[in-house]
Chain A
């Protein structure tokens, strides 16, 4: 971290996320030296000590590039998202959580009270006195506060304006490298930024397009879980083998890592170009391979997908049209 006022400033923040995006950034190996050589890292809570106060004290637009990962789950996330929007020239929704909610977004299937209860008072947590965290507590030194949870998790663009989207759980290293190279070129005046709102570090097709598995006419009599097929044919399309693979709806850019390694695509790169609702596209794809015409036969095949919402919205529930389960919406404040 050099202290050099002339270098463009860089920030990275995590909201409701796992930290994998940070690891992915570090996973670009020696390229990280280019980041350091070209940027002055001013705010990156995972990697360096920085106070929110410092950020609040900056002039608007001070930071050139902010990679924001994580969804907006509590008031602190929201506050920092708004603050970083104000202080940054380019705000990138980095990773699946910031783009469309990702795994933490599946919590939108439950009311927030239930989530808290599960975390603090279930068989895995012995809490006979039903003690729950308070959002504020008075101590002799003053009032201590914890950020309040908000009813549903929201992707970054439902809270602030986002300049670019970079999906993936996490984004692939080679894609991060390409984006960093591009930004450095832009700084030097050798390239231009993509149009605002663009999805960057991705392909413009689907995972199936990058997948080398052979595709024939897909019609299946049964959906099966991958662990129940031993072994899956390594050269044949997984969907054709009855494994619900999310490739047909998912944006390319990962070089079809999972199908190439023998596992089905689970959709971390989000909706393909032009897809409004990821789950809807996947429903269309999955329904079209079902080899049955009578409702009973179709239902029987569909029984092979034990968790339909989790299957079609694993990474994209908060970014979908419905966004959350009705029960989560219906939570009303006192």
Chain B
């Protein structure tokens, strides 16, 4: 892992709570890690797992999903849906060889700017420890596989002992 690895994090925020928490963190001038790129949605229930997979496969090292606290959803119960999807998604990610810790679910109310900031900083450090995901790069190198690369690929099982270190 390079010394100066800066994780790229995509953050999904809900319009009614966590986006306002982020806003509050900003107006209160609370400092937090700048690695997260926030995307506002109307509700965490809008979070299609496609968004997470798209982010991870396009080069993000981690994804943060945020929403209102359980029982406080602006749309009644949609954050529970987000929770269920998130828990299933984590199982699928594990099966795909991705550390489930790369996707984090955080509840933050509109008043919790400080919490939003500290959770973000914490998550960035967690992902930094995990190292780069590099999924996008794998895809590129596979999609545009050079001829010499494929011809040196042998079928003997010793081939897979020479994996790259994480």
Contact A112 B53 (CB under 8 A): no
**Residues on the A chain within 8 Å of B38, using CB:** none
A112-B159, A150-B153, A312-B92 in contact; A321/B81 too (CB < 8 A)?
no
**Residues on the A chain within 8 Å of B160, using CB:** 111-114, 331
Contact B83 A113 (CB under 8 A): no
Q: Tally of A-B residue pairs with Cβ under 8 A?
A: 154
**Residues on the A chain within 8 Å of B154, using CB:** 135, 148, 333-334
Q: Does A140 contact B (CB under 8 A)?
A: no
A276-B50, A276-B54, A287-B88 in contact; A298/B83 too (CB < 8 A)?
yes
Q: Does A189 contact B (CB under 8 A)?
A: no
Closest to A331 in B: B160
Contact among B53, B84, B155, B159 for A322, CB-based, below 8 A: B53
Closest to A292 in B: B84
Contact A113 B158 (CB under 8 A): yes
CA distance A66 to B142 in the complex (A): 26
**Residues on the B chain within 8 Å of A308, using CB:** 88, 91-92, 95
Q: Which of B82-138 contact A (CB under 8 A)?
A: 83-85, 87-89, 91-92, 95-98, 135, 138
Q: Does B70 contact A (CB under 8 A)?
A: yes
Interface size on B, as a range, is 35 or more
Identify the interface centre among B80, B84, B161: most chain A CB within 10 Å of its CB: B84
Contact A322 B91 (CB under 8 A): no
Contact A288 B81 (CB under 8 A): yes
Q: Does A31 contact B (CB under 8 A)?
A: no
Q: Does B3 contact A (CB under 8 A)?
A: no
CA distance A151 to B141 in the complex (A): 11
Contact among B138, B157, B164 for A114, CB-based, below 8 A: B157
Contact B84 A287 (CB under 8 A): yes
Contact B159 A329 (CB under 8 A): no
Contact A113 B88 (CB under 8 A): no
Q: Does A133 contact B (CB under 8 A)?
A: yes
Contact B162 A334 (CB under 8 A): yes
Contact A112 B155 (CB under 8 A): yes
Residues of A within 8 A of B (CB): 75, 109, 111-114, 116-117, 121, 132-133, 135, 148-152, 154, 158, 276-277, 279-281, 283-284, 286-288, 290, 292-293, 295, 298-299, 302, 305, 307-310, 312-313, 320-327, 329-334
Among all A-B residue pairs, the 8 with the closest Cβ atoms = A326-B97, A113-B160, A309-B95, A287-B84, A280-B49, A280-B50, A329-B138, A111-B160
